[in-house]
Structure 1
Amino acid sequence: MVKYISAEQTLPLRSLVLRNGMPEAQCVFPQDHMEGGLHLGCFAGDQLVSVATIFPEDHPEHGPHGFRLRGMASDPAFAGKGYGAKLINFAIDELTSANAAYIWCNARSAAAAFYTKLGFTMISEEFEIPGIGPHFNMIRLLAVKNNKLS
């Protein structure tokens, strides 16, 4: 089951999966409490097994109404079992309902195939994030369900 969680609930998996066991205080993102942002968690029973943070941020080359995915992490014991995909698909449904134009991320190179299976496309050459590793910018365009502005 996917549901909204707090920024603090994302920290243990961010530390474990994305920051090589760094103290949780060093895994906080500046956007964690940004207006319009959300934190999602996918649960296996009562256990939180996958997390992601999503917040409004336009990609510099893709126009307005963008959201950025950051801090996507799945417990290695549950990797490859569909929990991460459930979480991303839930996020896509939520953003589509909110009339977001697209979702983008800096995807680790090792995770590019995961994002491609979920409809994301690469929009950059591979680049290095110092201390973290190789990444690609990836994007998924979203279908607007209705025009709330008219």
Structure 2
Amino acid sequence: METLQIEQIRFDLTWRIRHEVMYPDLPYEVIKLEDDPNGIHFGLFVDGLLTAVVSLFNEGKVYRFRKFATIVSAQGKGYGTFLLKHIISYVKLMGAEKLWCNSRLSAANFYSKFGFVQTDQRSVSKEIDFVIMELQLDN
């Protein structure tokens, strides 16, 4: 039976997985965010191995998560679901009214399962289609 554990981690510990999963063909610097030092970063460990990461930023009662990534060999095993549920619970405890992300269009159905709704705000970056998705929270 595997052990799953979520911990707050240093922002630089997210970079390897971000690069490997999100932009493996682009320079390493691309995955670093200017706001990284100001965020709250979570890592999901599977049997002690850092397997998934997400970075959380807030302005008042609105939280945004960015750079949500699970190593390729561990995708489809429920780790992303486990980590996203943790993030939703965390921001509720912090008194958040809304949680949002700029989702890859290819991942929109995943977020919809958790109550996130697509907005009409779409964009393209690095030849990838994105859509803003929001989750209204009741506290």
- TM (norm. structure 2) is 0.90
1:101-140: per-residue Cα shift (whole Å, max 9, x none)?
11101100111111111221101254312x1400110011
Aligned to 1:44: 46
Are the aligned partners of 1:19 and 1:132 in contact in 2 as well (CA < 8 Å)? no
Which structure 2 residue ranges, 5 or more long, are not aligned? Answer: none
1:14-46: per-residue Cα shift (whole Å, max 9, x none)?
101111244434321011111xx2101111111
Output the CA distance in 2 between the equivalents of 1:132 and 1:2: 32
Are the aligned partners of 1:122 and 1:138 in contact in 2 as well (CA < 8 Å)? yes
Matched residues, number: 135
User: Higher strand share goes to which structure?
Assistant: 2
Aligned to 2:23: 19
Q: Which amino acid aligns with 2:18?
A: R
Structure 1 runs of 4+ with >3 Å offset: 21-26
- TM (norm. structure 1) is 0.83
Which structure 1 residue ranges, 5 or more long, are not aligned? Answer: 58-63, 145-150
Q: Which amino acid aligns with 1:28?
A: K
Provide the aligned C-alpha RMSD in A: 1.5
